[in-house]
Amino acid sequence: MKETVVHVKNLKKIYHTRVSRGLFSTEKREVEAVKEISFDIYGEEVVGFIGPNGAGKTTTLKCLSGLLVPTSGEVEVLGFKPEKRKKEFLQKIALVMGQKSQLWWELAPIETFKLNKEIYGIPDKEYNEVVNEMVEILDIQEVILKPTRNLSLGERMRCEIVAALLHTPELVFLDEPTIGLDVVSQHNLREFVKVYNQRYKAT
Ligand X SMILES: Nc1ncnc2c1ncn2[C@@H]1O[C@H](COP(=O)(O)OP(=O)(O)OP(=O)(O)O)[C@@H](O)[C@H]1O
| Residues contributing to the site for ligand X (CB under 6 A) | 15, 17, 31, 33, 51, 53-59
Contact present, 188 and 138 (Cβ < 8 Å) = yes
Nearer to Mg ion, 58 or 168 (CB): 58
Contact pattern for Mg ion over residues 51 through 70, marking x by CB under 5 A = ------xx------------
Q: What DSSP line would sit under 56-102, residue for residue?
A: SHHHHHHHHHTSS--SEEEEEETTB-GGG--HHHHHHEEEEETT---
Minimum CB–partner distance for residue 9 and Mg ion (Å): 22
Residue 17 interacts with, from Mg ion, ligand X, none (CB under 5-8 Å by kind)? ligand X
Nearer to Mg ion, 61 or 78 (CB): 61
Contact present, 10 and 36 (Cβ < 8 Å) = yes
The total of other beta-carbon atoms located within 10 Å of residue 56's CB is: 21
Amino acid making up residue 50: I
Nearer to ligand X, 58 or 203 (CB): 58
Residue 31 interacts with, from ligand X, Mg ion, none (CB under 5-8 Å by kind)? ligand X
Q: Is 168 in the site for Mg ion (CB under 5 A)?
A: no
Minimum CB–partner distance for residue 157 and ligand X (Å): 16
Please tell me the distance from the alpha carbon of residue 128 to that of residue 14, in angstroms, as a whole number.
43
Minimum CB–partner distance for residue 19 and ligand X (Å): 9
Residue 51 interacts with, from ligand X, Mg ion, none (CB under 5-8 Å by kind)? ligand X
Binding-site residue total for Mg ion (CB under 5 A)?
Answer: 2
Contact present, 182 and 154 (Cβ < 8 Å) = yes
Nearer to Mg ion, 113 or 173 (CB): 173
Nearer to Mg ion, 138 or 193 (CB): 193
Please tell me the distance from the alpha carbon of residue 136 to that of residue 54, in angstroms, as a whole number.
36
Please tell me the distance from the alpha carbon of residue 93 to that of residue 190, in angstroms, as a whole number.
19
> Which residue number is nearest to Mg ion in terms of Cβ?
58
Which residues sit at the interface with Mg ion, rule CB under 5 A?
57-58
